Amino acid sequence: MKTALILGATSDIGMHIAEGLAKRNYNILFTGRNQKLLDELKNRLQKYDVEAADFVFDVEDFSVHKKFYDSFTVKPEVVFCCIGYYEDQARARLEYGETARTINVNLTGIVSILNIISNDFEKRRSGSIVVLSSVAGERGRQLNYIYGSAKAGLTVYLSGLRNYLYKSNISVTTVKLGPVYTKMSEGHNLMPVITLKPEIAAEKIIRAGLKKKDIVYILWVWRYIMLIIKLIPEFIFKRLSPF
């Protein structure tokens, strides 16, 4: 039986990914910051005939990353990274602490732990890494350019990692998420026709990751929405109202 590690498993999408992998007979190692939510997920996984182990893990605490991964007696064959953070972007512009947290959670913390994991995978010459990025990283928009810049950096990092690990038979899947109905998106004006439910997004993410795809738009229409947005000339784009 294979083992999957889910980073950020207590997110809405992460919980559904954990259940989807358990249904496929994967043993589950999963992390989060909130022990109550970890316990809730562990209870949800009890109905499946798999082993499940939870770990409190703070991606902003870089000093524990290597010790955390080295503590596993059984290393995972596949890693799903669902870590993400999106709060008041106006506050992120005004308060550096919020700016740093947005960047550390969405970029530098993920890079740190994935460097450790991918080095192990490279030695073993096998493994799959699946990471949730965002269409927000495809062009800076005034509503969320700090969050978007972190996701843009993450997407470029994953592109280089995929290129580097290809010769070692390791797949790296970049998932470009659009809006999903989650706790992180509460209070935002979402259009139902281009917004996914978390359980549907999770199933699409699992399928893409296990098929070892390279870059995936979980909702196909976002490929074309972002293509149009990227084609708008800068002298016009900078004059546009928030969207």
**For the segment 23-60, what is each residue's pLDDT rounded down to a tens digit?**
999 999 999 999 999 999 999 999 999 999 999 999 99
The predicted structure's pLDDT at residue 38: 97
| Residue 226 counted as domain residue | yes
Q: What is the pLDDT of residue 190?
A: 65
pLDDT band at 185 (very low <50, low <70, confident <90, very high): low
Helix/strand/coil for 31 = strand
* Three-class SS state of 46: coil
Which domain does 208 fall in, by range? 3-237
In a domain, residue 64? The reply is yes
Cα distance between residue 18 and residue 36, in whole Å: 16
135-167 pLDDT, tens digit each? 999 999 999 999 999 999 999 999 999 999 999
**Confidence grade of residue 183 (pLDDT, cut at 50, 70, 90):** low
Q: In this predicted structure, what is the pLDDT of residue 178?
A: 87
**Which amino acid, one-letter code, is at 72?**
F
> Given pLDDT bands bounded at 50, 70 and 90, which one contains residue 189?
low
| Pairing between β-strand 78-81 and β-strand 27-32 as defined by DSSP bridges | unpaired
Q: For residue 148, is it within any domain?
A: yes
Picking from 97, 100, 111, the residue whose alpha carbon sits closest to that of residue 7 is 111
What is the rounded distance in angstroms from the CA atom of residue 165 to the CA atom of residue 171? 7
Q: Is the pLDDT of residue 181 over 90?
A: no
Classify residue 243: in a domain, yes or no. no
The size of the chain, in residues, is 243
Q: Please count the structural domains in the chain.
A: 1
Domain assignment present for residue 91? The answer is yes
Q: Band of the pLDDT at 168, cuts 50, 70, 90? A: very high
How far from the centroid of its chain's Cα atoms is residue 32's Cα?
Answer: 13
Q: What is the domain-level CATH number for residue 10?
A: 3.40.50.720
Contacts of 98 (CB under 8 A, 6+ apart): 87, 88, 91, 92
Rounded mean pLDDT, 71-82? 97
**What pTM value is reported for the model?**
0.94
User: pLDDT category, 186, cuts 50, 70, 90?
Assistant: low
pLDDT on residue 161: 98
Mean pLDDT, the chain, whole residue set:
94
Note whether residue 11 is domain-resident. yes
Query: Cβ contacts of residue 235 below 8 Å, gap of 6+?
Result: none
Does 242 fall in a domain? no
Region 123-127: mean pLDDT is: 97
pLDDT band for position 243 (cuts 50, 70, 90): low
Q: Is residue 19 part of a domain?
A: yes
CA 149/CA 156 separation, integer angstroms: 11
Looking at residue 217, the DSSP 8-state letter turns out to be: E
